[in-house]
Amino acid sequence: MNDKFGINIKQYCRAHEAEIRAQKPTPALLREHLTKLKWLQHERLVHLIVVVMTVLVELFTVDLAVLHPETNPLAAAVMLLLAVLLGFYFWHYFFLENTVQRWYKIADSLRKNMESAPDKNQGR
């Protein structure tokens, strides 16, 4: 493994979706997809918690700047830094949320394709 700083989640998701498209729908493929979907849901939950905590700290710094003007230069710097950080967190969370919802549709499609595929044992 060359992932010194963790995996690139976007590449991981793209690779998984390409793998799904390249294979015939089977129960094993659906199980694998649902397992990876659970992992992605966990990742999304962790990022939601981080975003909420960062928003709370941002609100605290806004409150600090308003109620204690003597801290204004420091509070303004922290507010700006957190605002930029929140922008990136929201962008990444948006990606995770949309990917999870797309993977729900993929799971539904896999189920539907498996149900509509003719059973090999019916003709015997």
Written as tens digits, the pLDDT of the chain (124 aa) is 566 778 889 999 999 999 999 999 999 999 999 999 999 999 999 999 999 999 999 999 888 888 887 777 888 888 889 999 999 999 999 999 999 999 999 999 999 998 886 655 444 4
Name the burial class of residue 35, with classes exposed (0-12), middle (13-18) and buried (19+) by CB atoms within 10 angstroms of its CB.
Answer: exposed
pLDDT tens digit sequence for 98-121: 999 999 999 999 999 988 866 554
Name the burial class of residue 55, with classes exposed (0-12), middle (13-18) and buried (19+) by CB atoms within 10 angstroms of its CB.
Answer: middle
pLDDT given at position 1: 53
The DSSP secondary-structure symbol of 5 reads T
Query: Do 14 and 95 form a contact (C-beta atoms < 8 A)?
Result: no
pLDDT given at position 77: 85
Distances (CA, A) of 101 to 67, 78, 84, 121: 41, 34, 26, 34
Query: Do 62 and 79 form a contact (C-beta atoms < 8 A)?
Result: yes
- Indicate the average pLDDT of the chain: 88
19/33 Cα distance (integer angstroms):
10
